[in-house]
Amino acid sequence: MGKYSVDLNSDLGESFGAYTIGMDADVLSFVSSANIACGFHAGDPAVMRKTVALAKERGVSMGAHPGYPDLVGFGRRNMNVSASDMHDYVLYQLGALAAFACAAGTELVHVKPHGAMYNMAAKDASLAAAVCRAVKEFDASLILLGLANSRFASAAADAGIRFASEVFADRGYMDDGSLVPRTQPGAMITDEDEAVSRVIKMIKTGYVTGVSGKEIPVRADSVCVHGDGAKALSFTRKIRAALEAEGIAIRPLGEIIS
């Protein structure tokens, strides 16, 4: 096995009712882990069932992708929630997706919060702790997938659960290691070649260049490629090919985190 290995994940199962979002069936051919929406920010019971079945069929490791109860805002709007609410939101959604995984004869491997839930908890110790508490109470063997250098890492350590450090192929970084808000310039990396080179740099050197030009240390256990953009499929294919060409093995999260 080569010196470098990484998990390649995508947020999937985000269609809802009559609305189709993303190209899940195609993207699943190129990723090693799927974060499946649990019905709060996106997804519904039928979509959850179908996505779990498809991920199992493709041999892709799966995890829960809980978000705020905000279908209209796609879970990307900040909400004033207590730590108790955060805990309950995560626990509820874990139970929902795990039911479909159990019915399909498979199981969840990880948990990755979505959108505003992810970004708020990454900066707020009490919210991060609430997420970890819900994960531990539900299944202490699950891996928490969260932003590198965030509150998630210390909260997971305190809770005694495993943590995987996530980096983003198509997002800009602030000097503190947080993601550039989508409302600000530099939030999205739209040039595919630039995104690919950034990912390879993060994996091989442990650094990413922030919007200010500062070199920010990161640990890349898993790389997120979004599955809902116009170029999602071509980019996912391209980044996987580039990683393999660089001798970077694509492995599911459970094999990356011991």
pLDDT tens digits, residue range 115-133?
A: 999 999 999 999 999 999 9
pLDDT band at 226 (very low <50, low <70, confident <90, very high): confident
Task: Say how many Å lie between the first and final Cα of the chain, rounded.
Answer: 16
pLDDT band at 230 (very low <50, low <70, confident <90, very high): low
Q: Count CB atoms within 10 A of the CB of residue 236.
A: 24
Q: Which residue has the tokens 């310039």?
A: 185
To the nearest whole percent, how much of the chain has pLDDT over 70?
98
User: What pTM did the predictor assign?
Assistant: 0.95
According to DSSP, residue 250 is labeled E
- Nearest residue to 167 (alpha-carbon basis) of 78, 248, 51, 101: 248
Q: What is the mean pLDDT of residues 222-233?
A: 78
Q: What is the mean pLDDT of residues 172-181?
A: 92
pLDDT at 88 over 90: yes
Q: What is the mean pLDDT of residues 209-220?
A: 95
Which domains are present in the chain?
4-256 (3.20.20.370)
Residue 7 confidence (pLDDT):
98
Q: What is the mean pLDDT of residues 71-80?
A: 96
To the nearest whole percent, how much of the chain has pLDDT over 90?
88
Mean pLDDT estimate for the chain: 95
What DSSP line would sit under 106-142, residue for residue? ----EE---HHHHHHHHH-HHHHHHHHHHHHHH-TTS
What stretch of H or E contains 88? helix 83-103
